[in-house]
Every structure is written in C-alpha cells, then in structure tokens.
Amino acid sequence: MPPYSAHQSFIAPAVPTAALWRVIVGFLAASAIYLLLNNLLFTLVFNVTGPQDSSFFDDLLSGKTPAAMFLLLGSFALMTLGVTIVARVLHQRSFASLIGPLGLAVAQFSAVVRLLVVVSVVIFLLPPWDLGDPLVPNLEVGTWVLLLPFSLLAVFVQVSAEEIVFRGYVQQQLAARFKMPLVWMVLPSFLFALGHYMPNELGENALIIALWAGVFGMLMADLTARAGSLGPAIAVHFCNNVAAIVIMSMPDDLSGLALYLTPFSMADTEAVRAWLPVDFALMFITWLAARLAIRR
C-alpha cells in the first residue's frame, strides 16, 4: 500500500473547490477573521479589567499567570472559528471535513498519545539530562495539579487550531489541486514557520527556531498524509506543547501554567542554541513513534 494512500480520502472533501484562488482567499479571510475576533476579545478584556498599571497588561499578553495563559491559549478557538467559517462559506464544507473521519482521528490521537507518554518516560529515565543548572520551581505542586485538567484542555484548543488550519485546511486544499507532496507539505509548513519567526522575542535564535517549526510542520504533514486524519498530528503537537508549556517552560513568555522553568531564558543565546539539537532529535523521535503507533 502506498504510504500516502489514506491521504486521498482525507483530501476528497476539498476536491470540488480546489481552485488555487480559493485557498489563497480562504487563508487570508480566515486570518483576518481570527485577528479581528482576537482584537475584539482582548479589547473587551482590557475594558472589563479597567485601568491597570502597565505590568498587568505585560503579564497578560506574555502569559505570566495561569489566567493569562488560559486566555491566550483559549483565544486560539477563534482561529478554529475563522477557518470553519471559510470552509463553510467559500468551500461548502463542514468543520468535520477538515479533521478527517472523527472516529479514526480519535483512535489515532489516543494511540499516539499513549505511545508518546511511554517514550517520554523512557527518555526522562534513561539519560542524565542536564540543562546546566537546576530547574526553577514555578507553580506550587498543589496548584499545578488542580489546574492540570484545564491546562491540558487549553493546550488542546491551541494545537488543534493550528493543525486544523495548516494541516487541515491549507494542506487539504493544496493537495486537492497539486499532486506533488513538495507543494502541499512545504507551503503550509513555510507559513507555519513564518508564524513562528519572532526576531524581537527570540533574538539571534529566531531563524533557527522558525526552521525548527518548518521541519515540524513537514513531519506533521507527512503524518497526516499517512494517517488520513489530523489525529496523529494533533497528538504529537499536543504532547510537545504540554512538555513546553505545562511541564517545563522558559521564563520569558507563556510560563503561567508551567510546573518548572528552565534555568536559562531566550536571551541566553548560547544556552538555547546548545539545547536546540536535542530538541530537533526529540522531534524526530516523536514523529517516528507516532508513525509506529499508526503503523503507516
């Protein structure tokens, strides 16, 4: 069986409206809807909270508290809403068609998460990982445990939105128009990487971190094409972001839900760069594990 045979059924709903102009207009429209609704949401929040000092809004926008993180991660539901509106209006497609067969997606998501939990435990136990200095405690354990179900749900909302947009909508529509994987794997991954290129926040490492995101996107595109649903890609993205947001975050931004903080920040260019090869290796390990879990 060809490795991407399942991809044909996954992209089938996109075939009737596969004109290139539609995906270009659709992506721009979905982005505009998301940005507009996101701006309205945060304007409403700022109006409700009333006058505050600048540090309050800085902490809110950088995710330094649990409440801020729930707001930031939850706002990704607006991204899902934007692409759902575009799929319905511009392509006469349902939201479910962006995910693939729901039963299959759920089963594959569960299988991949179970295996990645085992892989993560093995990786944690076997080598003597060393970040240079001890991890810095962030949330109290009791508070972290109490928030954990809501934290996992918030991360799921965030990663699902990104996968639905890039591996769902954009990949489906491009694959329905172009048969070459070079198009439907690389272009959505480039857009995904572009969204992670943040030179102001990431400094000298901005380009290599964007490259990491681009490679991650292509691996998720491969998983999606093999699986015939977004289940495995959402699972890998979910486990990756739980590790980076809920378990061990960097102290710069998005640290409000983390149990621990790393002993270095994004400003420590060399320390971050030294850890990136390990991060790349872990990305490939999780991709291979996900492929094993779905046996494709």
Average pLDDT, the chain: 91
pLDDT bracket for residue 148 (50, 70, 90): very high
Question: What is the C-alpha to C-alpha distance for residues 101 and 68, in angstroms, rounded to an integer?
Answer: 34
CA 23 to chain centre: 21
Domain count, the chain: 1
Looking at residue 296, its pLDDT comes to 65
- The size of the chain, in residues, is 296
User: How crowded is the C-beta side of 122, counted as CA atoms within 13 Å?
Assistant: 10
Residue 53 has pLDDT above 70, yes or no: no
Residue 97 structural domain: 5-294
Mean local confidence (pLDDT), 77-101: 96
Residue 1 has pLDDT above 60, yes or no: no
pLDDT bracket for residue 46 (50, 70, 90): confident
Looking at residue 128, its pLDDT comes to 62
Mean local confidence (pLDDT), 191-218: 89
pLDDT digit string, tens, across residues 58-76? 777 788 899 999 999 999 9
Looking at residue 200, its pLDDT comes to 79
Residue 2 has pLDDT above 70, yes or no: no
Phi/psi zone of residue 254: left (φ > 0), alpha (ψ -120 to 50 degrees), beta?
Answer: left
Mean local confidence (pLDDT), 219-242: 97
Question: What is the C-alpha to C-alpha distance for residues 56 and 72, in angstroms, rounded to an integer?
Answer: 14
Q: Residue type at 277?
A: P
Grouping H, G, I as helix, E, B as strand and the rest as coil, residue 127 is coil
Q: Which residue is it, tokens 């491969």?
A: 222
DSSP summary character for residue 99 = T
**CB-count exposure of residue 188 (10 Å: 0-12, 13-18, 19+):** buried
Query: What percent of the chain has pLDDT above 70?
Result: 94
Looking at residue 275, its pLDDT comes to 82
pLDDT digit string, tens, across residues 93-108? 999 999 999 999 999 9
DSSP letters, 247-273, are IEE-SSSS-TT-SEE-SS-TT-HHHHH
Query: What percent of the chain has pLDDT above 90?
Result: 70
DSSP letters, 220-249, are HHHHHHHHTSSHHHHHHHHHHHIIIIIIEE
Q: How far is CA 120 from CA 117, 195, 242, 261, in A?
A: 5, 27, 12, 18
pLDDT digit string, tens, across residues 18-35? 999 999 999 999 999 999
User: How crowded is the C-beta side of 231, counted as CA atoms within 13 Å?
Assistant: 25
Q: Which residue is it, tokens 């009737």?
A: 16
Residue 38 has pLDDT above 80, yes or no: yes
